[in-house]
């Protein structure tokens, strides 16, 4: 094949076709070779008729990335498919490591590369429980297969200290069965035991399950490979089956009229969540 190859790195969202972007769908249609983890291939199977499919098991990520790059190099139009966003705990990292090793450049190489974003698990999951991510948040993966546990634990401490809403990816599997309890213990040193938590399995896929609980009960929930967990910040509250994280406006704005309330030293543009010693600093300056 002498034509220039194309490599599409595609995140197809949480699973349902309604949440697949137009660009992702078009790129899958354009491809003649589709590469992906077996389960992912199954999720987009109906778009793959007539295409060559290279599907592999979960632990064969490097092989998958290599074969995608090799086929693009040979002139194929290759779609490497991945759930959620391909750049978030996804295959894009591995592929770009290979590209940088081989000194690939957009202009000078025999194939093009396009990264196509998708709806990542944390936003899919959050959409099922209302509005939990409307203030600062962090994502932490509890998988210590590629990251040493002390690094993960350090980040959990930082997330707790910063009062972030926390999204836990890869919270538990059959083999990784103690990390979730440990994460709960770390976060409980900063967050209240009754901090609202959403445990969501298979968002927008068959078998979707949403369970609302609290931080002190989190590790007791049924949690597996396809679960993402959202843990509130200090002001997150539960209303019906929703988790709501206020944006910090109540008390600063009248929610009905939208007018700014001048209370104490609060002025427009100042956060209500200022550090405790803010008043002291203000007076000194």
Q: Which of 180, 260, 264 is nearest to 220 (CA)?
A: 180
Count the residues of the shown chain that bind ligand SAH, applying the rule CB under 6 A. 24
227 scored as a contact of ligand SAH (CB under 6 A): yes
Question: Minimum distance from CB of 174 to ligand SAH (Å)?
Answer: 13
Please identify which residue in 65, 69, 78, 90 interacts with ligand SAH, judged by CB under 6 A. 90
Q: Indicate the angle between helix axes 179-188 and 149-161, nearest 10 degrees.
A: 30
Among 5, 36, 84, 232, binds ligand SAH (CB under 6 A): 84
Of 241, 151, 146, 238, nearest in space to 192 by CA: 238
Pick 170 or 233: Cβ nearer ligand SAH:
170
Q: Which is nearer to ligand SAH, 120 or 179 (CB)?
A: 120
Return the number of the residue (76 or 129) whose C-beta is nearest ligand SAH.
129
Q: Which is closer to ligand SAH, CB of 111 or CB of 169?
A: 169
Token pair for 189 = 């040193």
Nearer to ligand SAH, 126 or 195 (CB): 126
Print the binding letters for residues 174-203 with ligand SAH: x by CB under 6 A, - otherwise: --------------------------x-xx
Quick check: 117 binds ligand SAH (CB under 6 A)? no
Nearest approach in angstroms of CB 53 to ligand SAH is 20
Q: Which of residues 5-44 bind ligand SAH (CB under 6 A)?
A: 14-15
- Looking at the Cβ atoms of 226 and 252, the one nearer to ligand SAH is 226
Q: In this chain, which stretch among 1-9, 97-105, 183-191, 223-231 interacts with ligand SAH, using CB under 6 A?
A: 223-231
Q: Which stretch binds ligand SAH (CB under 6 A): 2-10, 22-30, 78-86, 246-254?
A: 78-86
123 scored as a contact of ligand SAH (CB under 6 A): no
**Segment interacting with ligand SAH (CB under 6 A) among 109-117, 118-126, 153-161, 179-187:** 118-126
Copy the structure tokens of residue 247: 């944006």
Q: What is the C-alpha to C-alpha distance for residues 139 and 171, in angstroms, rounded to an integer?
A: 11
Applying CB under 6 A, the residues found at the interface with ligand SAH are 14-15, 82-85, 88-90, 120-121, 124-125, 169-170, 200, 202-205, 225-228
């Amino acid at each position: 094949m002498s034509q220039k190859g194309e490599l599409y790195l595609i995140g197809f969202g949480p699973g349902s076709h309604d949440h697949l972007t137009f660009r992702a769908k078009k790129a899958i249609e354009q491809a003649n070779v589709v590469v992906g983890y077996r389960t992912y291939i199954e999720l987009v199977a109906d778009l793959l008729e007539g295409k060559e499919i290279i599907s592999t098991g979960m632990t064969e990520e490097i092989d998958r990335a290599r074969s995608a790059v090799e086929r693009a190099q040979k002139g194929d139009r290759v779609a490497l498919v991945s759930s959620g966003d391909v750049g978030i705990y996804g295959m894009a990292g591995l592929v770009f490591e290979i590209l940088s090793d081989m000194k690939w450049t957009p202009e000078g190489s025999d194939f093009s590369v396009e990264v196509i974003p998708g709806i990542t698990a944390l936003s899919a999951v959050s959409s099922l429980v209302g509005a939990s991510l409307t203030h600062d948040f962090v994502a932490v993966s509890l998988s210590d297969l590629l990251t040493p546990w002390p690094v993960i634990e350090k980040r959990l401490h930082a997330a707790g200290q910063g009062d972030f809403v926390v999204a836990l990816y890869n919270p538990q599997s059959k083999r990784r069965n103690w990390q979730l309890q440990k994460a709960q213990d770390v976060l409980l040193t900063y967050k209240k035991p009754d901090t609202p938590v959403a445990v969501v399995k298979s968002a927008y896929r068959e078998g979707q399950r949403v369970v609302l609980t609290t931080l002190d009960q989190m590790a007791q929930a049924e949690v597996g490979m396809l679960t993402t967990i959202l843990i509130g910040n200090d002001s997150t509250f539960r209303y019906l089956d929703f988790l709501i994280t206020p944006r910090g406006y109540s008390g600063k704005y009248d929610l009905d009229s939208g007018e700014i309330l001048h209370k104490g030293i609060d002025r427009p543009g100042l956060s209500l969540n200022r550090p405790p010693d803010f008043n002291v600093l203000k007076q000194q300056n």
